[in-house]
Structure 1
Amino acid sequence: MMTRRDALRHTALGFGGLALADLLRAADSARAPHFAPRAKRVIFLFMKGGPSHLDTFEPKPLLDRDDGKPYPGSRPRVVFAPTGNLLKSPWKFRQYGQSGSPVSELFPHVAGCVDDICFVHSLHGTNPAHGGAVLKLHTGSDNFVRPSMGAWVAYGLGTENADLPAFVTVCPTLAHGGVNNWGSAFLPAACQGVPLGNASTPVEQARVRYIDNPRTTRTAQRRQLDLLADLNRGHLDRSGPDAALEGRIESFELAFRMQQTMPEAEDLAKESHLTKALYGMDDPVTAPFGRQCLLARRLAERGVRFVQVTHSDANVQWDQHGNLRAGHAKNAREVDKPIAGLLKDLKARGLLNDTLVLWGGEFGRTPTVEGGGRDGRDHNPEGFTVWMAGGGVKPGFRYGATDEYGWYAAENKVHVHDLHATVLALLGLDHERLTFRHAGRDFRLTDVHGRVVRELFA
């Protein structure tokens, strides 16, 4: 059997084109899942800052009844900030669809899609600070540098399109973990997310930088890369395997191939006016996030395994310690129609069946008021809501619940590790088998935890 080193020594083609995919275990080729998958790809809609489950998708009648009274239960031992009495939601809830799922006035468009949505109302984590909670949701760890969820998916499955990355993140936040939230850590470098812009970049400019090289022809670039590969092959032949060098070689080759494919994927000009309107791109309020969601659909249908779309800005978008009414209303207005448009578009194109859409933030909000103006809520990792759609989950389904006031996950509790295990299982990956040996031990996304919540499977 030819080893990697033998292949590097004997191949006469350098690292060009398809040869690289055969030579190196990179994230630019498809790999078989552990078992039959329900989903082929993921679109993760990340609401940075922590949207309030109590004001969006999980109404609490007792909170309405006892508005202004002291909270009767015990508060968490560790809190981010002191809070006062109970605060009812400023928004009314209605039941929608055949499933009768409750949705607040903040999300009238998503409300029309509830029969395709699987709500998880009992998610819980451990960290009440943004940095730790964001890292926990993305990487499974709130205090160590670990590979991100998208990187693990890229490592486990590769991409369906060798000319595009396996993992793309659209307008990611640079705060609270920054690049670690889409990084590969000790996994192969090709598994890390490719960012299109960032949270401070106007979404119209969210694209791969330097994708076009007008000064050098593709033929000349190919010759340059092959020469560089020959030099690197000589180094590897003398020194043995070098993961960092191999990662750079892979990145050069992927960048070369992406010149042909990524500009077309990023170009929304050929999308119809009706499609753009479906995503809210005809409205300046919804156009930025609508563009992000439409980019996500285009990338997913072209074979990118994991696409993340972040709703954020220079501030922490959903973090309403005060100004809850105006802040949450603004945020929901920006994302509601684009999210519904994405779900409808995926469904119309037959992509929702094998595309898992995941929506959520790093934590929820407290049922008690923060500040003296009765218009804010503090961080709450003890119980909050995420939802999924498509990709083999039960449509029109609600699972779990927080307590009667909405502070703690109480019924059918789902930890962040359980969410990760479940997402991987939907993709056909066993979270206990998807491991990588580093520093003398096997690591995985769920560390030593995680339970697949099969009750969510269709």
Structure 2
Amino acid sequence: MSDCKQYTPHYSRRDFLTKTTMGMGAAALGSLLQPTSLFGRSADPSEGIGGPHFAPKARRVIYLFQSGGPSQMELFDYKPMLEKMNGEELPESIRKGQRLTGMTAGQKSFPLAGSQFKFAQYGKSGAWVSELMPHTARITDELCFIKSMYTEAINHDPAITFFQTGSQQPGRPCIGSWISYGLGSDNDNLPTFCVLLSEGKSGGQPLYSRLWGNGFLPSVHQGVQFRSGKDPVLYLNNPPSIDNDDRERQLSFLKRMHEMQYARLEDPEISTKIAQYEMAFRMQTSVPETMNIDDEPDYIYDMYGPEARIPGTYAANCLLARRLVERDVKFIQLYHQGWDHHGSLPSQIQKLAKSVDQPSAGLIMDLKQRGLLEDTLVVWGGEFGRTNYSQGRLTKTNYGRDHHPRCFTIWMAGAGIKKGMVYGATDDFSYNIIEKPVHVHDFQATMLHLLGVDHEKLTYKHQGRRYRLTDVHGKVVRDIIA
């Protein structure tokens, strides 16, 4: 019997090409074993562009994603015409036969629904803000409202996927993974890309982990979800009877095995696994320290609101986002669900607005007082807006709104963004954009530009094609850049 260890493997064409490439995998492993600093960051396996294309205005991003589609007419896009014409039919000249969802396509009438909430103008820009957002109203001079956002997706899952990955079809890398791939990390002890989900908030559509997935990029670039409770990161702690010395010896042996395997196969994903194991070991110390907010002073809790003391809430996650920023995490993604108000909108949106208003404003002011807002970009917004007509029956106190991709509002603040600005405009019915439209790909291109990245040059070759976050579209919205 021949020795079972003596065999000649049959290589596929892909294996052959992997073995005979220009040593990129070996270079990646070498940079891991002897990391060097470039552009103020740590070396990273399977690097993208190797640093910014030009001087960045932002070093990091906090993305406050409001899942479900907040109604722009109840929050930031004041339309007195809707109040005046409340209950009247949406003019066909405004709708123009545009596509509707299956939830309202069968409606025989489309009664206009004016907002029940009062608006006022604030700041030097005179931005209109609803009474639902009193704390946000006080910081309008720090914000840039983009009222002319639009998307092509009309349902939640493809719309969220579009914002996060640049494609309505799942499987592409998300924006945080692209940034991790392109720019690497500024912190050796925490992931480049961290994700926080508000607990106890749901509504309409679930959030899937693929929204913070790496797609076809190396898995080291996927987002790491931080949870509230005993174990912020699953499977990070040592099992019973295993101490740190045992874990260190285990990882050292495992690393040698991976290096032997890499020498034989030259698979770049092996070096990624080495990096992930070593990061997990360092995170055993860094994560508990980061997640422990007990030492925050009372005035900080007061700034973020009463829910900041409750782990897993949006307010507590905003506070954690600031702590992650202080530790140079590159991309922090918050998800807050519950904005899908097809019915009972007046009562439901009051609850959601109250849960996010003070924490969002508190985060901006906290970053500013620490000098972190100067190089941190903060984004607030959802995947689309809501219709100006009521879904279902309209009454004086109750109505609902369907999905509306044609126009909606987001705001941005911080590094490189003009302060106290209102950009773009919608018609008197908040149905169509009449000035300075901003597409999802434009938004993504602008975010990358602020980080010093040319969105057309941040590419990754997969299955014979070079992909990028903005696909073959997108232009930087230079008017909003300071």
Q: TM > 0.5 between the two? A: yes
**Residue of 261, 284, 299 corresponding to 2:324:** 299
2:472 match: 448
SS in 2 for 1:385: strand
- Please say if residues 46 and 360 of structure 1, whose CA atoms lie closer than 8 Å, have aligned partners that are also in contact: yes
| CA apart distance, 1:283 | 7.4
Asked if 1:355 corresponds to 2:376, the answer is yes
1:339 match: 360
Mark the CA change 1:130 to 1:5 in structure 2 (over 3 Å): closer, same or farther. Answer: closer
Mark the CA change 1:284 to 1:41 in structure 2 (over 3 Å): closer, same or farther. Answer: closer
Write the distance in 2 (CA, Å) between the matches of 1:286 and 1:210: 19
Mark the CA change 1:373 to 1:23 in structure 2 (over 3 Å): closer, same or farther. Answer: closer
Mark the CA change 1:446 to 1:177 in structure 2 (over 3 Å): closer, same or farther. Answer: farther
What's the CA shift string for 1:59-113, capped at 9, x where partnerless? 1121122111111122422434215211001111001122211100110011101
Mark the CA change 1:96 to 1:8 in structure 2 (over 3 Å): closer, same or farther. Answer: closer
| CA apart distance, 1:32 | 2.1
2:218 match: 188
Q: TM-score, normalised by structure 2?
A: 0.86
Mark the CA change 1:204 to 1:371 in structure 2 (over 3 Å): closer, same or farther. Answer: farther
Amino acid corresponding to residue 346 of structure 1 in structure 2:
L
- Please say if residues 297 and 342 of structure 1, whose CA atoms lie closer than 8 Å, have aligned partners that are also in contact: yes
- The count of aligned residue pairs is 442
What's the CA shift string for 1:322-354, capped at 9, x where partnerless? 010111000001111111110110010011111
1:200 match: none
**Residue of 404, 411, 422 corresponding to 1:387:** 411
Write the distance in 2 (CA, Å) between the matches of 1:283 and 1:251: 31
What's the CA shift string for 1:416-445, capped at 9, x where partnerless? 000000000011100000001111011000
What's the CA shift string for 1:252-309, capped at 9, x where partnerless? 1110111121111111011111101111136789982110100000001101111011
Amino acid corresponding to residue 332 of structure 2 in structure 1:
V
Write the distance in 2 (CA, Å) between the matches of 1:96 and 1:180: 39
Mark the CA change 1:111 to 1:438 in structure 2 (over 3 Å): closer, same or farther. Answer: same
Write the distance in 1 (CA, Å) between the matches of 2:233 and 2:386: 35
Asked if 1:227 corresponds to 2:257, the answer is no
2:273 match: 248
List alignment gaps of at least 5 residues for structure 2. Answer: 1-21
Mark the CA change 1:311 to 1:206 in structure 2 (over 3 Å): closer, same or farther. Answer: farther
Mark the CA change 1:63 to 1:285 in structure 2 (over 3 Å): closer, same or farther. Answer: farther
1:272 match: 297
Mark the CA change 1:185 to 1:95 in structure 2 (over 3 Å): closer, same or farther. Answer: same
- Matching of residues 359-438 of structure 1 within 5 Å: 359-374=380-395, 375-438=399-462
- Matching of residues 323-334 of structure 1 within 5 Å: 323-334=344-355
2:101 match: 79
Q: TM-score, normalised by structure 1?
A: 0.90
Mark the CA change 1:284 to 1:39 in structure 2 (over 3 Å): closer, same or farther. Answer: closer
Mark the CA change 1:171 to 1:441 in structure 2 (over 3 Å): closer, same or farther. Answer: same
| CA apart distance, 1:373 | 3.9
| CA apart distance, 1:403 | 1.8
Asked if 1:288 corresponds to 2:318, the answer is no
1:212 match: 237
Write the distance in 2 (CA, Å) between the matches of 1:229 and 1:283: 40
Asked if 1:129 corresponds to 2:151, the answer is no
Write the distance in 1 (CA, Å) between the matches of 2:441 and 2:44: 34
Percentage identity across paired residues of the two chains: 42
Mark the CA change 1:15 to 1:148 in structure 2 (over 3 Å): closer, same or farther. Answer: closer
- Please say if residues 15 and 226 of structure 1, whose CA atoms lie closer than 8 Å, have aligned partners that are also in contact: no
What's the CA shift string for 1:195-235, capped at 9, x where partnerless? 013xxxxx456721233326333332222112111111111
Write the distance in 2 (CA, Å) between the matches of 1:24 and 1:35: 22
Write the distance in 1 (CA, Å) between the matches of 2:211 and 2:148: 23
SS in 2 for 1:344: helix
SS in 1 for 2:316: helix
SS in 1 for 2:272: helix
- Please say if residues 49 and 361 of structure 1, whose CA atoms lie closer than 8 Å, have aligned partners that are also in contact: yes
Write the distance in 1 (CA, Å) between the matches of 2:44 and 2:311: 45
Amino acid corresponding to residue 183 of structure 1 in structure 2:
G
List alignment gaps of at least 5 residues for structure 1. Answer: 198-202
- Please say if residues 168 and 195 of structure 1, whose CA atoms lie closer than 8 Å, have aligned partners that are also in contact: yes
Write the distance in 2 (CA, Å) between the matches of 1:4 and 1:284: 47
What's the CA shift string for 1:180-204, capped at 9, x where partnerless? 210010111111100013xxxxx45
SS in 2 for 1:369: coil
Q: Which structure would you say has the larger Rg?
A: 2
Mark the CA change 1:236 to 1:438 in structure 2 (over 3 Å): closer, same or farther. Answer: same
Mark the CA change 1:457 to 1:182 in structure 2 (over 3 Å): closer, same or farther. Answer: same
2:208 match: 178
Amino acid corresponding to residue 370 of structure 1 in structure 2:
Q
**Residue of 179, 184, 191 corresponding to 1:158:** 184
Asked if 1:114 corresponds to 2:144, the answer is no
